[in-house]
Structure 1
Amino acid sequence: MRTMDELFASRLRSAWRNGLLYALKAGRNVMVPMSVPFVAVGVAFVYRYLLEIVPDRFPSELFLAVVLAYFLTRCTVRTFVKEPDLVFLLPAEARMKDYFQRAVRYSSWMGGLSFSFVMWFALPFYLFELGDFASFLLAWVLLVPVKVWNVREQWLSVIWREKAWVTGLRFVANAGLAWMILHGFWFAVLLPFALFPLRKRWPAGYAWSELLLLETKAIARYLALASFFVEVPERLNRVRTWKLGKAPLSWERANPYLFLYTRTFLRHSEYFGIAVRITLTAFVALFFISHVVIGLVVYLLALYLTGKQLPNLVGERQYPDVLALYPLPEEAKLKGYSHLAFGLMLVQSLVLNLPVLLAGLPWWYLPCGLLLAYLLAFFDLPTRFRERMEGKKA
C-alpha cells in the first residue's frame, strides 16, 4: 500500500507527464511557431502604445497595486483529488495531513512562479511610470511571499467553507499591501505573517466535494488552453441549456453540418466564451488606439485567434452518434465547417468595425478583415481539415 507521500508524488508526476505530453504535441503543430511571434509582436505593439498615451496625472501606483492585488488574491490550490477519493480516502482522512500539506507547498511554489510572470509583464509599466529596476526587483522579492500567504489563505477558505466576502476582504488587504510596497513602505510585507497566529488551526476534516470541484475546474482550464493548439479528446466542458428554437426544416436539411456546428458553437461554453472574450478585448482596445498599424494588428489578431480556436468544434468525438446518422461525404463536413467559420468572423469583423470608425481609424479595416476571414475559412482551415482526414485514413 502506498504512503500518502508516495500517493501525492505519483499523482504529481502523472499530472506533469500529461501536461508535457500536450506541450510536446503543441510544439509539433506547425501553426504554433507561426502564431506565437505574430501574437507576441501584436501584444508588444499595443503595450508600447498604451504606455505612450498614459496621462501625466494617471494614478500609476494605485492602478498597478489593484492589478497586482487581483493576481495575488486569485490562487489555485492543486490537490489532485479524484472522484473515487471521496469514497476510498475518506476513511484515511485523519492521515491526510501530510498529503495536503505537500499540495499547499506545491501550489505555493507554482503560485509564486505564476506571479513572477505577472511581475515580469508589469516591468515595462513600472520602469516607464514608477521607478528603476532595483526598486522593482525589491518589490518583486517582497510580493512573492505575499502570494505564498494568499495560497495558504485560499486553502483555509476552501476547507473551512468561508464566505465570498472573506476573499473580497483579502483582495482589499492585498491592494493595500501592494500599494505600500510600491510606495516604498517595505515593512508592510510583515503584516500578513503577523496574522498567522490569528487564523484557525489545521482542520481535522476536509471539504472533499469542494476540493474535487476546484481540481476539476483547474484541469478544465488547462485543457481549454491546450485545445487552442492540439485536439483534446478528454476536454471537460459545460453545455448551455439555451432553448434556441426550431430552425426551418429546409435550412436544416440543406445544411445539416452547418446546422449542427452552429448549435454546438452557441451552446458549447468554451468555444462561444472564447470568441466573446476575444471580441470584447479587441473591442475595448480599439477605442483607445489611434495608430493605424497598431489598430490593424489588433483588429486582424482578434479574427486570427477566433479562426484558430475553431478546429476542435468539428471533432468527431463530440458527435459520436449523430454523425453516423448523416449519410453525407466528408466534403459536406468541410462545407459546413468553413461556412460557420466565415460567418462567425464576418459578424466579429462588423462588430469590431464600430470602435474602428468611432476612433477615427481607416475604413479599409473591414475589407482587410473580410479578406483574412475568407482566407482562414476557405483555405487555411480546409487544408488542416483534409490533412487530419488523410491522417485518419492512413
Structure 2
Amino acid sequence: MFDSHAFFKRRFSAHMKETSRYLRYIFNGHIAVAMLFFISAAAYYYQGWLANLPDNFPTAWIIGVAFGLLVSYSPVRTLLKEPDLVFLIAAENKMGPYFRDALIYSFVIQLYLILLAGAAFGPLYFASYPDRAGNIYLLTLLVVLIFKVGNLVDNWWMLKIREPGIRQVDQAVRMLLNVAVFYFIVQGEMVWAGITTVLFTLVFLYDLSVSRKYPGIVWDLLVEKDRSRMQTFYRIANMFTDVPHLKNQVKNRHWLVSLVSRVPFANRHTFDYLYRISFVRSGDYLGMYVRLIVIGGLFVYFVPNIWMKLLFALLFLYMSAFQMMTLYHHHRTIMWLDLYPVDIGVRQRSLLKLLFQLTLFQTIIYTLLFIVMQEWAGMLIVLAGGIVFDYLFILGYVKKKVTT
C-alpha cells in the first residue's frame, strides 16, 4: 500500500542531501568572512543611527511593510519532480499526508526570515516606542507567525486555480491587508488592526470556498513552481561550483553583445570573444556583477567613515572578481571547446584579462563616487588601492586557481 508520508520523508531526505552539498560551496570561507564583516559593520552603524533616531521617523510604515511582505511571500515547497506527473497522479487521493508534510516543511524553512526580521527591527521598535513593554513586540511577532500560517495555507488553496491572473489579484489583495494589519499593530491603533484582520479573514474564507470548487490538484503547476525555485537555487550555486542540473538560460541582449564582442579576428582572441559573450548572455553573471556594484556603491556613499568606505570598496571588488571566476568552468561540459586549435594558456589569459577589465571598471565607478562626495584622499586611495588589489588578486589567487 502506498504511504505518502513515508514517500515525503524519502523525498525530503534526498532534497536535503542535494542542497546541503551545494550549500557547503556557497557558504565557504570567503563568503563567511564577507558575511561576518557585513553583519559587524551593519550592527555598529545601526546602533549609532538609532541613537540619533528622529522623532518623526516612519517606524510603523517600515516594520508594517516588511512584516506584511514577509507573511505574503509564503511559497509552498512540494518537492515534486517531473516524473511525478506520470507516477503519482494515480495516487492523488492518497497524497493528503504528503502535502500536509510539504506545508509544514514550507513553514519551517521560512521561519528564519521572520526571526531575522524580528531581530533586526527589534532595536528600531524599542527606540521608537520606549514606553512600550517588551512583551508587546513579542505578541506582534506571534501575530506574524499566525498570519504566516494563514497566508501559506491560502497560497496552497489558490494553487488549485490554473488562471495566473486570479492568483495574482488574490496575492495583491492579501499583501495590502497584511501590510495594513501590521502597520496598525505597530502604530498602536488596535481598532483598525482588528478591522483589517476581519477583512483578511473574509478573504481567507472566500479563498477556501473557491478552492473547494476545484477538488483536484494542478500537478503541472506544482511541478513547474518547484522546478523554477530549484533552478534559482542552482543558478546561485553555479557561481561557486559546477552544477550539472542547471538549465542555462541564454538571453539575447543584442545591443550589449554588439558592444562587447568587438575583438580582433585572431586565434589568440577566441576566448576573449567567448567569455565576453558568456558574461553578457549566460546565467546571471551580468546581473550579479551589476548588483554587487550597486550595493557596494550604496555602502561607499552612505557609510560615514572614510576608512570603512575604502574597506567596503575593496570588499566588493574582491566579491566581484571571486564570483566571476566561475566563467572559466561555465563551458566545462561542452566538448567542442577542446577541439579549438587554441592553447590552454590563451584561454587562461583571456579569463584573467576579462576579470581585470571588470574589476578595473568597478574601481573607476567607486572612484567617481568619491569625486562626487569630494573625498579627494579617498579617491586617490581607492583608485590606487583598487588597481593594486586587482593586479595582486587576479594574477596571484585567480591565476593559480585556473592553472591548477
**What TM-score do you get using the length of structure 1 for normalisation?**
0.86
Query: 1:125 offset after TM fit, Å?
Result: 2.9
For residue 221 of structure 2, give the secondary structure of its aligned residue in structure 1: helix
Q: Residue type of the partner of 2:5? A: D
| Aligned match of 2:18 | 18
| Aligned match of 1:172 | 176
Query: 1:248 offset after TM fit, Å?
Result: 4.7
For residue 309 of structure 2, give the secondary structure of its aligned residue in structure 1: helix
Conserved? CA contact 2:279–2:286, under 8 Å: yes
- Out of 238, 242, 252, the residue aligned to residue 241 of structure 1 is 252
Query: 1:52 offset after TM fit, Å?
Result: 5.9
The answer to whether the aligner puts 1:346 opposite 2:360 as a matched pair is: yes
Q: Which moved more, 1:308-317 or 1:29-38?
A: 29-38
Conserved? CA contact 1:307–1:345, under 8 Å: yes
1:63-212 to structure 2, matched below 5 A, reads 63-131=62-130, 133-160=134-161, 161=163, 162-184=166-188, 188=193, 191=198, 192=200, 196-200=204-208, 201-202=211-212, 203-212=214-223
Query: 1:106 offset after TM fit, Å?
Result: 1.8
Distance in 2 of aligned mates of 1:318 and 1:225: 17
Q: Which moved more, 1:18-27 or 1:207-216?
A: 18-27
Distance in 2 of aligned mates of 1:195 and 1:271: 41
Conserved? CA contact 1:303–1:348, under 8 Å: yes
| Aligned match of 1:328 | 342
| Aligned match of 1:392 | none
> Using a 3 Å threshold, how does the CA distance of structure 1 residues 47 and 2 change in structure 2: closer, same or farther?
farther
The answer to whether the aligner puts 1:215 opposite 2:226 as a matched pair is: yes
Query: 1:80 offset after TM fit, Å?
Result: 0.8
Distance in 2 of aligned mates of 1:50 and 1:213: 44
> Using a 3 Å threshold, how does the CA distance of structure 1 residues 352 and 64 change in structure 2: closer, same or farther?
farther
Distance in 2 of aligned mates of 1:248 and 1:198: 58
Distance in 1 of aligned mates of 2:51 and 2:283: 37
> Using a 3 Å threshold, how does the CA distance of structure 1 residues 260 and 9 change in structure 2: closer, same or farther?
same
Distance in 2 of aligned mates of 1:378 and 1:347: 17
Conserved? CA contact 1:108–1:152, under 8 Å: no
Distance in 1 of aligned mates of 2:52 and 2:236: 32
Query: 1:215 offset after TM fit, Å?
Result: 0.7
Distance in 1 of aligned mates of 2:341 and 2:41: 44
Q: Show structure 1 runs of 5+ residues with no match.
A: 390-394
> Using a 3 Å threshold, how does the CA distance of structure 1 residues 303 and 215 change in structure 2: closer, same or farther?
same
Conserved? CA contact 2:328–2:402, under 8 Å: no
| Aligned match of 2:399 | 382
> Using a 3 Å threshold, how does the CA distance of structure 1 residues 299 and 80 change in structure 2: closer, same or farther?
same
Conserved? CA contact 1:61–1:130, under 8 Å: no
Query: 1:134 offset after TM fit, Å?
Result: 3.6
- Out of 255, 260, 264, the residue aligned to residue 250 of structure 1 is 264
> Using a 3 Å threshold, how does the CA distance of structure 1 residues 14 and 383 change in structure 2: closer, same or farther?
same
1:238-387 to structure 2, matched below 5 A, reads 238-243=249-254, 244-245=257-258, 247-248=261-262, 250-251=264-265, 253-315=267-329, 317-318=331-332, 320-361=334-375, 362-364=378-380, 365-386=382-403
Query: 1:42 offset after TM fit, Å?
Result: 4.1
Distance in 2 of aligned mates of 1:172 and 1:253: 58
For residue 379 of structure 2, give the secondary structure of its aligned residue in structure 1: coil
Q: Deviations over 1:305-340 (max 9, x none)?
A: 211212222116545123212233433222111111
Q: Residue type of the partner of 1:179? A: Y
> Using a 3 Å threshold, how does the CA distance of structure 1 residues 113 and 91 change in structure 2: closer, same or farther?
same
Q: Residue type of the partner of 1:371? A: V
Distance in 1 of aligned mates of 2:41 and 2:310: 10
Distance in 1 of aligned mates of 2:63 and 2:266: 51
Query: 1:82 offset after TM fit, Å?
Result: 0.8
**What TM-score do you get using the length of structure 2 for normalisation?**
0.84
Q: Deviations over 1:19-65 (max 9, x none)?
A: 222334556x5534544433433444554565467544221111221
- The count of residues paired between Structure 1 and Structure 2 equals 386
Distance in 1 of aligned mates of 2:300 and 2:308: 9
Q: Residue type of the partner of 1:23? A: L
Q: Which moved more, 1:356-365 or 1:139-148?
A: 356-365
Query: 1:16 offset after TM fit, Å?
Result: 0.9
Conserved? CA contact 1:289–1:295, under 8 Å: yes
Conserved? CA contact 1:82–1:212, under 8 Å: yes
For residue 363 of structure 1, give the secondary structure of its aligned residue in structure 2: helix
Q: Which moved more, 1:195-204 or 1:364-373?
A: 195-204
Q: Show structure 2 runs of 5+ residues with no match.
A: none
> Using a 3 Å threshold, how does the CA distance of structure 1 residues 181 and 18 change in structure 2: closer, same or farther?
same
Q: Deviations over 1:51-90 (max 9, x none)?
A: 4675442211112211222222222210111112222223
| Aligned match of 1:4 | 4
